[in-house]
Amino acid sequence: MRISRSKNADRRPRNDDDAIMPLINIVFLLLIFFMIAGKLSSADPFEISPPSSTSGINEDTGSLTLLVGPNGETALDGTVMSETDLGAALAERLQANPDTILRLKADGGAKAGDVIDVMEIIRDAGAGELNLLTLPEDS
Protein backbone atom coordinates (compact mmCIF):
# COMPACT_ATOMS: atom_id res chain seq x y z
CA MET A 1 0.00 0.00 0.00
CA ARG A 2 1.36 3.36 -1.02
CA ILE A 3 0.77 6.56 0.96
CA SER A 4 0.52 9.58 -1.19
CA ARG A 5 1.28 13.05 0.05
CA SER A 6 -0.66 16.02 -1.00
CA LYS A 7 1.00 18.38 -3.44
CA ASN A 8 0.85 21.28 -0.94
CA ALA A 9 2.80 19.40 1.74
CA ASP A 10 5.90 19.20 -0.46
CA ARG A 11 5.66 22.80 -1.60
CA ARG A 12 8.56 24.79 -0.15
CA PRO A 13 10.51 27.64 -1.58
CA ARG A 14 13.13 26.26 -3.91
CA ASN A 15 15.67 28.45 -2.25
CA ASP A 16 15.83 30.28 1.10
CA ASP A 17 16.48 33.51 -0.80
CA ASP A 18 13.04 33.26 -2.41
CA ALA A 19 11.40 33.82 0.97
CA ILE A 20 13.45 37.00 1.61
CA MET A 21 12.77 38.69 -1.73
CA PRO A 22 9.42 40.28 -0.71
CA LEU A 23 11.11 41.81 2.36
CA ILE A 24 13.93 43.20 0.24
CA ASN A 25 11.39 44.69 -2.17
CA ILE A 26 9.55 46.45 0.67
CA VAL A 27 12.77 47.84 2.16
CA PHE A 28 13.87 49.06 -1.26
CA LEU A 29 10.53 50.81 -1.86
CA LEU A 30 10.72 52.46 1.57
CA LEU A 31 14.24 53.65 0.81
CA ILE A 32 13.08 55.23 -2.46
CA PHE A 33 10.10 56.85 -0.72
CA PHE A 34 12.24 58.47 1.99
CA MET A 35 14.81 59.63 -0.54
CA ILE A 36 12.11 61.38 -2.56
CA ALA A 37 10.06 62.67 0.38
CA GLY A 38 13.01 63.92 2.43
CA LYS A 39 14.16 67.48 2.01
CA LEU A 40 17.83 67.77 1.28
CA SER A 41 19.54 71.02 2.11
CA SER A 42 23.13 72.08 2.01
CA ALA A 43 24.93 72.52 5.29
CA ASP A 44 26.41 75.87 6.29
CA PRO A 45 30.15 76.06 5.60
CA PHE A 46 30.82 76.78 9.27
CA GLU A 47 28.92 76.38 12.58
CA ILE A 48 26.37 79.13 13.28
CA SER A 49 24.40 79.50 16.53
CA PRO A 50 22.02 82.44 15.96
CA PRO A 51 20.97 84.56 18.92
CA SER A 52 17.47 84.27 20.43
CA SER A 53 14.67 86.78 19.97
CA THR A 54 11.03 87.10 20.92
CA SER A 55 9.99 87.79 17.33
CA GLY A 56 11.30 85.78 14.45
CA ILE A 57 11.12 85.70 10.70
CA ASN A 58 10.56 82.38 9.02
CA GLU A 59 13.28 81.36 6.60
CA ASP A 60 12.38 81.98 2.98
CA THR A 61 14.08 79.61 0.56
CA GLY A 62 13.91 82.07 -2.36
CA SER A 63 16.31 84.66 -0.97
CA LEU A 64 20.07 85.05 -0.48
CA THR A 65 21.59 83.94 2.83
CA LEU A 66 24.64 85.62 4.30
CA LEU A 67 26.51 84.02 7.18
CA VAL A 68 28.76 85.66 9.77
CA GLY A 69 30.72 83.21 11.87
CA PRO A 70 31.98 83.62 15.45
CA ASN A 71 35.44 84.57 14.17
CA GLY A 72 34.21 87.06 11.57
CA GLU A 73 34.27 84.72 8.57
CA THR A 74 31.61 85.43 5.96
CA ALA A 75 29.76 83.31 3.41
CA LEU A 76 27.13 83.91 0.75
CA ASP A 77 24.76 81.01 0.01
CA GLY A 78 27.19 78.45 1.40
CA THR A 79 30.34 79.81 -0.27
CA VAL A 80 32.97 81.20 2.09
CA MET A 81 34.42 84.48 0.81
CA SER A 82 36.21 87.59 1.98
CA GLU A 83 34.31 90.82 2.67
CA THR A 84 35.54 92.41 -0.58
CA ASP A 85 34.43 89.37 -2.61
CA LEU A 86 31.15 89.39 -0.69
CA GLY A 87 30.45 92.98 -1.73
CA ALA A 88 31.16 92.26 -5.39
CA ALA A 89 29.07 89.06 -5.41
CA LEU A 90 26.16 90.81 -3.67
CA ALA A 91 26.24 93.76 -6.06
CA GLU A 92 26.21 91.39 -9.04
CA ARG A 93 23.29 89.32 -7.73
CA LEU A 94 21.29 92.38 -6.67
CA GLN A 95 21.84 93.97 -10.06
CA ALA A 96 20.35 90.88 -11.71
CA ASN A 97 17.39 90.80 -9.30
CA PRO A 98 16.93 94.05 -7.29
CA ASP A 99 13.92 92.72 -5.34
CA THR A 100 15.96 89.96 -3.68
CA ILE A 101 15.50 89.77 0.09
CA LEU A 102 18.72 89.15 1.98
CA ARG A 103 18.84 87.03 5.12
CA LEU A 104 21.69 87.62 7.57
CA LYS A 105 22.43 84.66 9.81
CA ALA A 106 25.06 85.69 12.36
CA ASP A 107 26.50 83.58 15.16
CA GLY A 108 25.42 84.67 18.65
CA GLY A 109 29.08 84.95 19.63
CA ALA A 110 30.08 87.07 16.63
CA LYS A 111 31.44 90.53 17.37
CA ALA A 112 28.93 93.31 16.81
CA GLY A 113 31.51 95.16 14.71
CA ASP A 114 31.80 92.22 12.30
CA VAL A 115 28.02 92.06 11.88
CA ILE A 116 27.83 95.84 11.35
CA ASP A 117 30.61 95.65 8.74
CA VAL A 118 28.64 93.02 6.81
CA MET A 119 25.46 95.13 7.10
CA GLU A 120 27.35 98.09 5.61
CA ILE A 121 28.54 95.88 2.72
CA ILE A 122 24.92 94.85 2.16
CA ARG A 123 23.78 98.48 2.15
CA ASP A 124 26.58 99.52 -0.23
CA ALA A 125 25.64 96.66 -2.60
CA GLY A 126 22.16 98.19 -2.92
CA ALA A 127 19.98 95.78 -0.95
CA GLY A 128 16.40 96.88 -0.38
CA GLU A 129 15.48 94.55 2.46
CA LEU A 130 17.47 92.62 5.06
CA ASN A 131 16.14 90.04 7.53
CA LEU A 132 18.23 89.13 10.57
CA LEU A 133 17.65 85.43 11.36
CA THR A 134 17.36 84.48 15.02
CA LEU A 135 16.13 81.53 17.06
CA PRO A 136 12.82 81.83 18.93
CA GLU A 137 13.30 82.64 22.60
CA ASP A 138 12.30 79.82 24.96
CA SER A 139 9.24 80.92 26.92
Alpha helices in 11-72 (DSSP H): 16-37
Give the CATH architecture of domain 52-136: 2-Layer Sandwich (3.30)
Choose the weakest-confidence range: 5-9, 27-31, 128-132: 5-9
What is the pTM for the complete model shown? 0.56
Residue 95 vs residue 60, higher pLDDT: 95
Enumerate the domain spans of the chain: 52-136
Mean pLDDT of the chain: 78
